[in-house]
């Protein structure tokens, strides 16, 4: 049984001065196409576009003038003027002339405002002021990051510097090294100096030696500051801190959906619901890793000491500015795909370049966070053919440590994993699949007919690299609880988690142990607990004529599960998606399923034991009402799931909650009723499903035109 509830909302935030959305005003709205832009002195003249929201049959005018800024009027020419849109025109440009004086100067800004709009029913919109920056042509010199560290004893450190662009002449900068720790009381030599970039060079490293070698126990912290640049200017990251990494966290509190309201203008007009952002909480204070729309979900780490964004590993360019490259997150979303005391996994999926939002134009980042603050980023860029997409060589892996003072980046060699050897007795029950750098975990798998009462193995250190907080994933372990023994002694300082999937449960273990010798480890199911495993479904490619993705003929454990549904090999290989692409809800006592599958644009379908599919459809808008092609705008037109995605908000024994978000579009992927804020129509649907198959559906349409046709 399903109950549909449709809510048409005007979204009160869209009512400037209480008269309704800008786009509904007769005559239209005049506004700057962008709030900010910039250019170099040598690129003059430059054009700043001004837009009229809709084409009209009358003349419209608007005046412009310089409002302010930090430029002295010596570097640009812009007198007050007027733009005129003739009938049928909806865009004009303000021309800005910049004087190239060949001087090295800091960036300068000019603020231009629109005033005195004239024409039938016209008004000036919210984007009434534009900030133009005249860029200093000198290259910027800065540290690549503000914090780094090592786990092992060190005798020297190498800190990378970078230039923003290649220079035609030599660039140099002084650096000063100071220590703030107990080693100041000892005879430790710290070297300051000068570093130079030859013409064409863009990257160098500062190498600082310590005498004698500094151990982790010394609590070493070193500060390096840049000063006195020549033929360059200093960037924002002009100081760097190096520290011997010490564990600061042992508690992962979990990941949570929510909506972060920054109070900015773009937030006040956002057509999103209560689960728009994701926060991962670590430790006992308010320390958190945040995925929010203000950076198009590029995560930042925040403590009482500051806020730090992770590196932008894949360059992003869209319709926004700065870190918010996708200003309404039309091609970006995040999912909590695993969440336990042992680890949290967040999937961030986005289009980095807006000129390529097709099947293979997406990036998937898997962000795995452990209780000690270890943060593993797996970045997989869309590509073709499909074999290249799934090739491990296509992965970029970044290892980070979240600390009170910021984010420390380090290389794989700094955390060399020990070698795992499975005891001979247990090879008949378990397979060791290897160490997975993408998860920074040892992966084992239980055989379907394995009857061993425990899992024993040994970790042997190599090259004197210590064992540090190892993670073990045992696939198909089941829901049995565990106890751990290390070298034959009960060990209680660990975190246990479960990664549930359609056909079983994987065990995830994080051990809080740091030793510099080899150890033997035993994982034992607690007395009275049983291991269990479910038979996998049949080969999806066994038919000559394709059928919709099948499930098992018998019921399965109730809940909502991420999965990757298979259709045909040719069709499946079009999609650069991972194992969390689709959602299936299954039931303890019923062989039916509720599916959110890419093949139907994530439109939910019920499927019975004969694999017959049925849907209650979706919100639909009239394309003609919005001046678009065809008869309707709907998620069925979103064949590549550019806008449509589904997420599991919660799933447990009592109920499952699924959030399906989509934008109705025409066959050219265009949104209806787009106004000056950049937002068109969007829909949030929530499905609440209970173990007896009763489900409740709530659909909310966010629109500036609620009175136009919808279905």
Domain boundary assignment for the chain: 27-135, 140-244, 252-410, 414-525, 559-702
pLDDT at 96 over 60: yes
Most confident option among 15-29, 43-57, 190-204: 190-204
Q: At residue 398, what are phi and psi to the nearest 5 degrees?
A: -125, 125
**240: Cα within 13 Å, side-chain hemisphere:** 25
What mean pLDDT comes out for the span 603-617? 92
Taking CB atoms within 8 Å and a gap of at least 24, the contacts of 211-214 are: 211/155, 212/155, 212/188, 213/153, 213/154, 213/155, 214/153, 214/154, 214/155, 214/183, 214/188, 214/244
Q: CATH number of the domain at 414-525, please?
A: 2.60.40
Total residues belonging to the chain? 711
Convert the pLDDT of each residue in 240-260 to its tens digit. 988 777 788 999 999 999 999
What was the pLDDT predicted at 25?
42
Nearest to 400 by CA among 391, 409, 387, 413: 409
Measured distance CA(432)–CA(445) in Å, rounded? 7
Measured distance CA(291)–CA(323) in Å, rounded? 12
Superfamily of domain 27-135: CalX-beta domain (2.60.40.2030)
Q: Confirm whether 27-135 and 140-244 share one CATH topology.
A: yes
What was the pLDDT predicted at 421?
94
Instruction: Name the pairing type of β-strands 441-446 and 455-460.
Output: unpaired
What was the pLDDT predicted at 532?
64
What mean pLDDT comes out for the span 9-18? 38
Please tell me the least confidently modeled range out of 32-41, 517-526, 635-644: 32-41
What was the pLDDT predicted at 699?
94
pLDDT at 17 over 60: no
Residue 111's SS3 state is strand
Measured distance CA(236)–CA(140) in Å, rounded? 9
What was the pLDDT predicted at 15?
35
pLDDT tier, 74 (very low <50, low <70, confident <90, very high otherwise)? low
What mean pLDDT comes out for the span 537-557? 82
Measured distance CA(219)–CA(181) in Å, rounded? 6
pLDDT tier, 187 (very low <50, low <70, confident <90, very high otherwise)? very low
Which H or E element spans position 406?
strand 406-410
What was the pLDDT predicted at 10?
44
Measured distance CA(422)–CA(431) in Å, rounded? 8
Q: What is the mean pLDDT of the chain?
A: 86
What mean pLDDT comes out for the span 643-651? 98
650, 651, 656, 660 alpha-carbon torsion, rounded to 10°: 50
What was the pLDDT predicted at 450?
65
Measured distance CA(147)–CA(618) in Å, rounded? 49
What does the radius of gyration of the chain's CA atoms come to, in whole angstroms? 29
What was the pLDDT predicted at 244?
76
Convert the pLDDT of each residue in 497-512 to its tens digit. 999 999 889 999 999 9
Q: How far is CA 208 from CA 160, 192, 196, 406, 675, in A?
A: 12, 8, 15, 21, 55
pLDDT tier, 428 (very low <50, low <70, confident <90, very high otherwise)? confident
3-state helix, strand, coil in the chain (%, to 5): 10, 45, 45
Measured distance CA(661)–CA(663) in Å, rounded? 7
Convert the pLDDT of each residue in 35-68 to its tens digit. 888 887 777 788 899 988 766 778 889 999 988 8
What was the pLDDT predicted at 179?
66
458 within 8 A of 478, measured Cβ to Cβ: no
What are the structure tokens assigned to 379, written together?
């970045």
Q: How far is CA 591 from CA 2, 587, 613, 697, in A?
A: 17, 7, 13, 21
pTM attached to this predicted model: 0.83
**182: Cα within 13 Å, side-chain hemisphere:** 7
Q: At residue 186, what are phi and psi to the nearest 5 degrees?
A: -115, 170
Nearest to 563 by CA among 619, 500, 656: 500
To the question of domain 140-244 being in CATH 2.60.40.2030, the answer is yes
What was the pLDDT predicted at 67?
85
Measured distance CA(210)–CA(214) in Å, rounded? 7
Measured distance CA(3)–CA(686) in Å, rounded? 11
pLDDT at 13 over 50: no
Convert the pLDDT of each residue in 98-143 to its tens digit. 877 666 677 788 899 999 999 888 888 878 899 988 887 788 999 9
What was the pLDDT predicted at 46?
83
What one-character-per-residue DSSP string does 571-629 give?
Answer: HHTT----TTSEEEEE-SS---EEEE-GGGTT--EEE-TT--EE------EETGGGT-S
What was the pLDDT predicted at 22?
41
What mean pLDDT comes out for the span 204-227? 70
pLDDT tier, 534 (very low <50, low <70, confident <90, very high otherwise)? low
Measured distance CA(49)–CA(47) in Å, rounded? 6
């Amino acid at each position: 049984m399903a109950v549909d509830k449709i809510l048409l909302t005007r979204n009160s935030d869209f009512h400037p001065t209480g008269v309704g959305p800008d786009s509904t005003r007769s005559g239209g709205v005049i506004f700057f196409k962008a709030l900010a832009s910039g250019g170099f002195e040598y690129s003059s003249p430059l054009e700043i576009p001004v837009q009229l929201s809709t084409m009209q049959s009358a003349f419209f005018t608007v005046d412009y003038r310089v409002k302010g800024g930090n430029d002295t009027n010596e570097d640009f020419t812009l007198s007050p003027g007027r733009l005129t849109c003739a009938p049928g025109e909806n865009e004009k440009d303000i021309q800005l002339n910049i004087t190239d004086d060949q001087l090295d100067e800091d960036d300068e800004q000019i603020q231009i405002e629109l005033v005195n709009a004239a024409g039938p029913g016209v008004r000036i919109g919210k984007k009434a002021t534009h900030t133009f920056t005249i860029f200093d042509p000198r290259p910027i010199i800065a540290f690549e990051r503000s914090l780094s560290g090592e786990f092992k004893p060190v005798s020297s450190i190498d800190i990378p510097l970078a230039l923003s662009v290649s220079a035609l002449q030599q660039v140099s900068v002084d650096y000063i090294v100071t220590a703030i720790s107990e080693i100041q009381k000892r005879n430790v030599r710290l070297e300051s100096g000068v570093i130079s970039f030859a013409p064409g060079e863009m990257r160098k490293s500062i190498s600082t030696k310590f005498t004698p070698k500094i151990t982790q126990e010394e609590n070493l912290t070193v500060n390096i500051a840049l000063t006195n640049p020549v033929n360059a200017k200093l960037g924002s990251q002009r100081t760097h801190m190096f520290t011997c990494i010490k564990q600061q966290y042992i508690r992962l509190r979990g990941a949570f959906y929510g909506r972060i309201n920054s109070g900015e203008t773009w937030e006040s007009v956002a057509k999103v619901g209560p689960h728009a952002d994701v926060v991962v909480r670590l430790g006992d204070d308010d320390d958190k890793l945040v995925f929010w729309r203000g950076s198009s979900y590029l995560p930042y780490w925040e403590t009482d000491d500051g806020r730090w964004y992770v590196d932008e590993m894949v360059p992003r360019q869209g319709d926004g500015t700065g870190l918010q490259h996708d200003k309404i997150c039309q091609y970006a979303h995040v999912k909590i795909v695993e969440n336990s005391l042992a680890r949290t996994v967040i999937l961030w999926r986005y289009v980095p370049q807006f000129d390529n939002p097709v099947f293979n134009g997406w990036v998937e980042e898997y962000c795995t966070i452990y209780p000690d603050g270890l943060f593993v980023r797996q970045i997989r860029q869309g590509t073709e053919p499909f074999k290249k997409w799934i090739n491990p060589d296509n992965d970029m892996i970044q290892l980070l440590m979240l600390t009170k003072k910021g984010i420390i980046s380090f290389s794989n060699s700094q955390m060399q994993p020990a070698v795992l050897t499975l005891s001979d007795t247990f090879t008949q029950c378990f397979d060791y699949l290897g160490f997975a750098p993408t998860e920074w975990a040892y992966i084992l798998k239980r055989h379907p007919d394995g009857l061993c009462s425990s899992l024993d193995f040994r970790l042997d250190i190599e090259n004197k690299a210590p064992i540090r907080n190892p993670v073990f994933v045992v696939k198909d372990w089941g829901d049995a609880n565990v106890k751990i023994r290390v070298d034959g002694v009960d060990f209680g300082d660990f975190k246990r988690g479960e990664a549930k999937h359609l056909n079983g449960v994987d065990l995830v273990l994080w051990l809080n142990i740091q030793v510099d010798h080899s150890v033997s480890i035993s994982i034992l199911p607690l007395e009275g607990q049983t291991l269990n495993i479910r038979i996998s479904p049949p080969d999806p490619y066994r038919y000559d004529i394709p059928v919709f993705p099948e499930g098992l003929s018998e019921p399965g454990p109730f809940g909502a599960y991420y999965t990757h549904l298979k259709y045909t090999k040719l069709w499946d290989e079009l999609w650069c998606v991972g194992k969390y692409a689709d959602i299936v809800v299954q039931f303890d006592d019923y062989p039916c399923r509720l599916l959110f599958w890419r093949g139907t644009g994530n439109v939910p379908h019920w499927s019975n034991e004969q694999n017959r599919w049925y849907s209650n459809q979706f919100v639909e808008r009239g394309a003609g009402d919005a001046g678009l092609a065809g008869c309707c705008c709907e998620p069925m037109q979103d064949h590549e799931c550019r806008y449509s995605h589904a997420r599991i908000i919660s799933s447990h024994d009592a109920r499952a909650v699924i959030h399906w978000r989509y934008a109705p579009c025409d066959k050219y992927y265009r949104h209806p009723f787009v106004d000056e804020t950049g937002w068109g129509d969007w829909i949030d649907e929530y499905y609440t499903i209970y173990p007896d198959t009763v489900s409740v559906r709530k659909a909310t349409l966010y629109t500036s035109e609620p009175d136009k046709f919808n279905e």
